[in-house]
Amino acid sequence: MSYSHPFTMGGLILVFPNQVDDWLFHVGAAYAASLSLTLHCVRQRELYQLSLPGMFVPPLQVNERPLLPYWLQHRGTVLYGEDLRSEIRPFSPPQLLLSGHIEGGMDYLRRYGILTAMIHRQYPQLVGMLEREMRHLMSTALLIHQVWDISLATLPDLFRKQFGDGDLMALWREMQTVPVETAVYDDAVQAAWLFEQFLQKLRRYTYVPHA
């Protein structure tokens, strides 16, 4: 199965029978192909693993997992064999996805993104990174409303329609005023402050209502 993704090149899912000889040999051969796509090798009984949240470790990597079930189901292609797309279901409740994404921003992005960029005076890269991660956070939040058909360009407007034109959108608009290519120290500090405020205010949507 193949899938597209709004933030990456997409990927391939190779599904093997539950009983397969030389499992590690087949997996090694698949990864030896050195594809530019994300590659998942699973046995059929392990397909459920692709419904799990994955790891939110920005900026080390983009976590495809939150959107993967939607894009696989609605935009994916079965290249060979049985159609097993329905076995990879969206993670529920999506509020927990958002909570994990926020925690990843508070942990990994602070250490490996903000701190590293400030130490090395990579101010334009930092501003661009934080603006992009704001969009990624919007995409995870939109899953609360089952909105998955997004792109980097359409995210802000879709987010405004679902969450209103309040304090979060005000922070986003202010982020848009921070220069990227010509960013200096003060611009990077402002972008980091805006991003931190965005994280904190987004937390209110991580509450999971009782049934």
Q: What is the pLDDT of residues 100-114, one digit of tens each?
A: 999 999 999 999 999
Structure tokens that stand for 131 in this block: 């603006």
Q: What is the pTM of this model?
A: 0.94
Judgement on whether residues 57 and 150 belong to the same structural domain of the protein: no
What domain range is 202 assigned to? 94-206
3-state secondary structure of 17: coil
* pLDDT score of 211 more than 70: no
Judgement on whether residues 64 and 116 belong to the same structural domain of the protein: no
Judgement on whether residues 101 and 75 belong to the same structural domain of the protein: no
pLDDT (mean) for 77-100: 95
Judgement on whether residues 98 and 183 belong to the same structural domain of the protein: yes
Q: What's the number of domains the chain is made of?
A: 2
Beta bridge partners of 38: 11
Judgement on whether residues 101 and 195 belong to the same structural domain of the protein: yes
* CA–CA dist 49, 70 (Å, integer): 15
Judgement on whether residues 100 and 125 belong to the same structural domain of the protein: yes
Ranked by mean pLDDT, which of 18-22, 195-199, 204-208 comes out on top?
Answer: 195-199
Beta bridge partners of 12: 2, 39
Judgement on whether residues 195 and 124 belong to the same structural domain of the protein: yes
